[in-house]
Structure 1
Amino acid sequence: MPVLSRPFPTARVIAGPLARLLRAADGLLAFGAASHGRACALLLLLGLACFLPGLASLQPMDRDEPRFAQASKQMLETGDLVDIRFQAEARHKKPVGIYWAQAATVAAAEALGVPQARTAIGLYRIPSLIGALAAILLTYWAALALLPRRGALLAAALFGACLMLSAEARLAKTDALLTACAVASFGALARAWLGRARLERRRGPASLGTAVIFWLGMALGILIKGPMVPLFAGLAALVLSLREGSARWLLDLRPRLGLALVLAVVAPWFAAIAWKSGGAFFGEAVGKDMLGKVGGAAEKHWGPPGAYALAFFATFWPGAAFAALAIPFAWARRGEEAVALLLAWIVPMWLIFEALPTKLPHYVLPLMPAVAILTVLALHRGALDPRRPGAAWVAGLVVLIPVGLTLGLSAAAWRLDGVLPLVALPFLLAACALAAMALAAFRRGAGEGALVLAILASLIVSPAVFGLTQPVLQSLKLAPRLAALRDSLPCEGVRTGTLGLREPSLVFTLGTDLAMLNAAEDARDFLNAGGCRLVLVEDRFAEAFAATGAQKTPAGRVTGFNINGGKPVGVSAWAVMPGATP
């Protein structure tokens, strides 16, 4: 097994507060590496500290998250667990796995007596939280095939601390669960690849349990996001087989048993949706959603080649700068079994994503566990050397993200809401200081300590941003504020329509029966249809609506910033309340 190329620095080498921090970091790693139980407990604590703040208070994030959550909510409303719908529209883009997970979570919450569970966005995020935590633990398991326990712990913590995973753990979407499935299959593939030559302490071929994990990751991944996990694993297996000149090593993964397991898991729903939709699901999911992203920029998410590499320095912070320093090591040692495995998982899919016109930062998230493992492997081989030309400058990028967040969030809060995130600022500044200490540690040759300090900086950043700063940004919370305005009306059973503002978060928050109105006359007719009614009119339609002469009562006004459109927005509420009681 590889070992550290140099001893952990002590106070005799580095003095002052940095020396004390490095000793504490060394002690923390030593404590966690003492047993698998301790390592997993530390990783779970890291994940919970990074992911829980803001899980419930963050507003539904347009547009994808409320689409997923609303479709899951409609499964509960209709009792139909096969078809996937957003209001009356068929949502045939992704398979059913995430919707089942979200619907089951909310149903359990209702059974436990949680009030208004179906409109509590935090409940729909619990599967993503579980997926993110599982992804961290599975990264540790995968890394154990390539690194000693201490290194595996560090690699899993480095992945767990990255900003992209922290964001996806708080969003009711597919990507956190998809990443857990992908890294499970990767860990099993790693054991089959290394086991073929009885390398790295292996004593034989991959076990039956390893094969089951591989295929279960594939099966659940298919139910969550179609062909993505098979594509990740299949492309890596192809590259490794070409390198080996044979694919016989894959027999350790029991392909006959595995394919039977996959079919048993995925076939029932796919057969049911094919029958219910008349085949329309496959035409929409494959022909329009997947191939549309290959042939063009889906929903205007275009980006040039290299966009992922540039965004990586933010999305994989705090590990991105150190990962960049590992690239020369990866190229020089590409012939080694462990490095070849990691590159086979990372490089082909990364190049495919860069070549596609559609660019979304979370697409490369399932590759990041392997990047974290490769980074720590390079550290353990002595390749993260601050004496290399430009190394200290590259490592300096670790400071830019917390500094940029501190300045950017303060400016945004002041500009949008006229406030400063005063409670969060001390934590953000502390994260900047820890990042600076991580840079100082790296420049003095304490690479392992630098990674630990950078992880601790992220441990502060996530709660500061999502737990303390995000609630201050009330301008971004348009849907919750409009829902509160609707709920304040002095009548029951309010029917609501919207003219202009049509974000999915409104449907999730205000109800499945929210009327999407296309013209001012539609809004007038909606108000005149009887009963207690409310119409929300965006400012660009205000003049036309006023010209209709509709009989109405002003019910309030909400102004804010639409993050999806990237512009300020104002909405006036008008009500008709027959028989309303004060």
Structure 2
Amino acid sequence: MSMDQNLTSKESWLKSQWLRHLATVLAVSCVVMLTNLGGPRLWDRDEPRNANCAFEMLGRGDWIVPTFNAELRTHKPVLQYWSIMISYSLLGVSEFSARLPSAVYAILTAVLTWLMGRRLFGATAGLWAGCAIGSSLLFVMAGRACTPDATLIFWSTLSLAIYVLRTFPVATEQPATGRHSLFPDLLTAVLMYGAMGFAMLAKGPIGLIIPTACIGMFLLIETLPPLDVSHLVWWKRFPAQVWAVFHPVHFLRTCWYMNPVMALCVSLAIAMPWYVAVGIATDGEFLTGFFYDHNLSRATNAMEGHRGNVLFYPAAILVGMFPWSVIAIPLVMEVSARLRHRDGQSRSLVFAIAWVGVFIGLFTIAKTKLPSYITPCYPGAALLVGYVVDRWVRNDLLIAKFWPAIAAGVLVVVGIVLGAAVPAIAEEHLPGEEWLGILGLLPILTAAGGTVWAYQRQRLVAATWFAGGSALIVMSIFALGAQRADEHQRSHEILAAIFAQHEHPELASYRTLEPSWVFYAGMPVREYSPAAKSKKSEAETAARVIEHLEKSAGAYLITNRAGMQDLQGRLPADVVVLAERPLFLKNDRLFAIGRRRQETEAPAEVTAHVERIMAKQPPETFRY
């Protein structure tokens, strides 16, 4: 065979490998993200808020001002709402179309992770990284939820992927040297900062700050001149290295190297037009609420009780990357050993570590803490997972050989705990669903099968078995477990009881408001809630509730047990309790209050409303 034929054959094989790996990543992520995506109702509280905000904006034909329950919503910028509005326009209003944009963003993020893994660590490491991110617990949750998390993850990952693909050479085992290639050319930088501009439309300033901080941390480390700390006592060496990395001169030089003027100009050119437009349309109210209440206040105060210590985010990432997090200890040990050896992939490891470390570090400093805040670093963690799994498959780990077996043992323990805990929890909150404890068998079977294949030295088969088992575990939790839990939600029956009495009720709530009521009712729900915990405030609010019920025959109210106690003996004579149901997963009851229909036979419109609500379907249009 001639040399030309050999080259053609190799190119053909590489192309087919590229397509096979892409198809595998797409298959895993699509199956996990899309299976029964629209099955469960929207989960209170964030999902219906986001879904209905887009519903209201689409109904008004307004692409600028986000509202929920006919009131300005300042929690998040507009990109997620735009995505949902497009989905509604194409597919109609439903749970599936509300969640589909998040699923698409998550699938594309898995592809980007695969591409980065190929460039940083090699083709097979990229494949494992793409499969890992596509079957990690909290990343999948973000991709299957109607929230802006997957949107932010995609655009921030895209900016970092552009940096990697245009800056890093193809993965090699030879040590890399030089600084010239550590920042991309002008056009690439524009594309990179442009992606960050879209991330700013997804969640605000962090869309620019965090990705640039990740790249900046990588550059601070990699552009640092050689530092000799051998003459220092051991406990002074690490502080000396940290000081060298963050030395003001080195720090400012690195910041300037990243062209901050271009970063601001390009990202603001993307994001600023909408922020200006919404500021003008709301007389600055959105800007004040978003930047002050939902950015500055969350950074400086623990809002809504969401607080934690320095271990909060390390623990969160262990849960969020499950099942792949069972290799966390051997991963840390292997990566540490590789960094000490400084081969051609050390720079790639530093980049992935900087990505994860910046997110954990910055959000640990912030006062308000939620597990979802660090999900944009999961692709970076998946890159490290892909690297270590690839090394194990090639039998090229530096650490002791028994660590993978210990990881399998951890997965077995998790399966046993799930098998015992799920029936106990279901017995109290989801009676009749105790059988879901069988899901605990999936981690056990995944660990057992992988161990058997590994014992037979079929490492590739073992890793493939683990990847498939991980996808099945996570998919079963969300596609099956969430669906069964949803069957125990009863609040829609409260709405159905009201719509059975009146085709166009004037809805209000007292002391409780679940956002899903607004979405499935397809109309605003006026909220009555005491402004302060005082008897005077509570009495004044209760009086306004009674006034609401007295003013119209079509006035209806949803309240809880505390609200019923406040209103006891004060309701108009013809106002009765229409329905009473348990509040899902809470030790409380919901009550529908209003007047019964006088006619014996309900009009067709009323019957249609009731059937729609009982089928857990939103209306076609939102009625103000």
C-alpha displacement of 1:159: 1.0
Deviates more, 1:435-444 or 1:273-282: 435-444
Does residue 552 of the first structure (1) align with residue 557 of the second (2)? no
Report what 2:350 is aligned to: 340
Partner of 1:555, secondary structure, is: strand
Task: Find the counterpart in structure 2 of residue 535 from structure 1.
Answer: 557
The partner residue of 1:353 within 351, 363, 388 is 363
1:215 equivalent in alignment to 2:193:
yes
Contact 1:33 1:149 in 2 (8 A): no
Distance 1:174 1:144, change over 3 A: same
**Corresponding residue of 2:139:** 165
Q: Is the 8 A contact 2:512 2:559 kept in 1?
A: yes
Residues in 1 aligned to 2:403 and 2:287: alpha-carbon distance in whole angstroms? 50
Partner of 1:514 in structure 2? Answer: 525
Q: Which residue of 1 is the match for residue 422 of structure 2?
A: 409
The Cα offsets for residues 350-398 of structure 1, whole Å up to 9 and x where unpaired, read as: 1222232322111121111111111222344456567357664344323
Paired residues of 2:45 and 2:514 also in contact (CA < 8 A):
yes
Match in the other structure for 2:53:
71
Query: Shift of the alpha carbon at 1:79?
Result: 2.5
Query: Is 2:501–2:595's contact at 8 Å kept on the other side of the alignment?
Result: no
Give distance in 2, aligned partners of 1:433 and 1:145: 33
Shift of residue 499 of structure 1?
2.2
User: Which consecutive unaligned segments of at least 5 residues does structure 2 have?
Assistant: 1-12, 225-249, 530-540, 602-624
Residue 177 of structure 1, CA deviation: 1.4
SS of the equivalent of 1:536 reads strand
Where 2:579 maps in the other structure, the secondary structure is strand
The yes-or-no answer on 1:316 pairing with 2:321 is: yes
Secondary structure of the residue that 1:477 maps to in structure 2? coil
The amino acid that maps onto 1:337 is R
Alignment match, 1:266: 271
C-alpha distance in structure 2 between counterparts of 1:284 and 1:76, whole Å: 22
Distance (Å, rounded) in 1 between the aligned partners of 2:267 and 2:209: 15
Q: Deviations over 1:312-366 (max 9, x none)?
A: 2221011112233121232333352111211221212212222323221111211
Offset from partner CA, 1:10-41 (integer Å, 9 cap, x none): xxxxxxxxxxxxxxxxxxxxx99943333222
Query: Corresponding residue for 1:104?
Result: 86
Match of 1:15 in 2: none
Note closer, same or farther for the CA distance 1:290–1:446 as it changes in structure 2 (3 Å cut).
Answer: farther
The DSSP-based 3-state class of the residue aligned with 2:119 is: coil
Deviates more, 1:160-169 or 1:496-505: 496-505
400-409 vs 126-135, greater mean Cα deviation? 400-409
Change (3 A) 1:578 1:124: same
Q: Whole-Å Cα distance in 2 between the matches of residues 206 and 195 of structure 1?
A: 12
Query: Is 1:377 equivalent to 2:355 in the alignment?
Result: no
Letter in 1 for 2:527: M
Report the Cα distance in structure 1 between the residues aligned to 2:347 and 2:487, rounded to whole angstroms: 52
Alignment of 1:228 onto 2:206: yes
> Aligned pair in 2 of structure 1 residues 458, 531: CA closer, same or farther (>3 Å)?
farther
Q: CA deviation at 1:471?
A: 2.9
From 287, 304, 308, give the equivalent of 2:309. Answer: 304
TM-superposition CA deviations, 1:99-118 (whole Å, max 9, x none): 111122112224xxxxxx2x
Query: Superposed, which structure 2 residues align to 1:31-46 within 5 Å?
Result: 34-46=16-28
Note if 1:275 corresponds to 2:280. yes
Q: TM-score, normalised by structure 2?
A: 0.77
Residue of structure 1 aligned with 2:99, choices 115, 125, 131 = 125
How far 1:548 moved relative to its partner?
A: 0.7
Q: Which of 458, 481, 484 does residue 470 from structure 2 map onto?
A: 458
Deviation per residue, 1:204-223 (Å, 9 max, x gap): 88578754652342121111
Note the C-alpha offset of 1:157.
0.3
Aligned match of 1:287: 292
Q: Matched residues in 1 for 2:46 and 2:366: separation?
A: 20
For residues 453 and 206 of structure 2, what CA distance do their matches in structure 1 show? 39
Is 1:504 matched up with 2:515?
A: yes
Q: Distance in 2 between matches of 1:278 and 1:523?
A: 31
Give how far 1:510 is off: 2.6
**Stretch of structure 1 that moved more, 34-43 or 298-307:** 34-43
Amino acid of the structure 1 residue aligned with 2:63: L
Q: For the residues of structure 2 that align with 1:150 and 1:352, how far apart are their CA atoms?
A: 32
- Counterparts of 2:503 and 2:391, CA distance in 1: 68
State which structure, 1 or 2, has the greater radius of gyration over its C-alpha atoms: 2
Letter in 2 for 1:527: L
Shift of 1:440: 5.3
The letter for the 1-side match of 2:106 is: A
Q: Tell me the C-alpha RMSD between the 2 structures.
A: 3.4
Task: Provide closer, same or farther for how the CA distance between residues 198 and 230 of structure 1 changes in structure 2, counting only shifts above 3 A.
Answer: farther
Asked if the contact 2:557/2:592 (under 8 Å) is kept, the reply is: yes
CA distance in 2, matches of 1:411, 1:180: 37
Q: Could you tell me whether the CA contact under 8 Å between 1:402 and 1:432 is conserved in 2?
A: yes
- Say which is worse superposed, 145-154 or 163-172, in terms of deviation: 145-154
Higher mean C-alpha displacement, 343-352 vs 402-411: 402-411
Would you say 1:57 and 2:3 are equivalent positions?
A: no
Which among 392, 397, 405 is matched to residue 410 of structure 2? Answer: 397
**Partners in 2 of 1:60 and 1:233 — Cα distance?**
31
Residues 254 and 364 (structure 1), Cα distance of their counterparts in 2 relative to 1, 3 Å cut: same
Distance 1:443 1:341, change over 3 A: farther
Which residue is 2:590 aligned to?
571
Question: What is the aligned length?
Answer: 538
In 2, the alpha carbon distance for the partners of 1:539 and 1:417 equals 21
Amino acid of the structure 2 residue aligned with 1:71: C
In structure 2, the CA distance between the partners of 1:356 and 1:478, relative to structure 1 (3 Å rule), is farther
Unaligned regions of 5+ residues in structure 1, if any? 1-30, 111-116
Q: Does 1:483 align with 2:495?
A: yes
8 Å contact kept, 2:120–2:171: no
Contact 1:532 1:578 in 2 (8 A): no
User: Is the 1:392–1:443 Cα contact (8 Å) retained in structure 2?
Assistant: no
2:70–2:524 Cα contact (<8 Å) kept: no
Change (3 A) 1:84 1:318: same
| Contact persistence 1:554–1:573 (CA under 8 A) | yes
Deviation of 1:574 after TM superposition, in Å, equals 2.4
Distance 1:375 1:578, change over 3 A: closer
Letter in 2 for 1:267: M
Bigger mean CA offset, 124-133 vs 189-198: 189-198
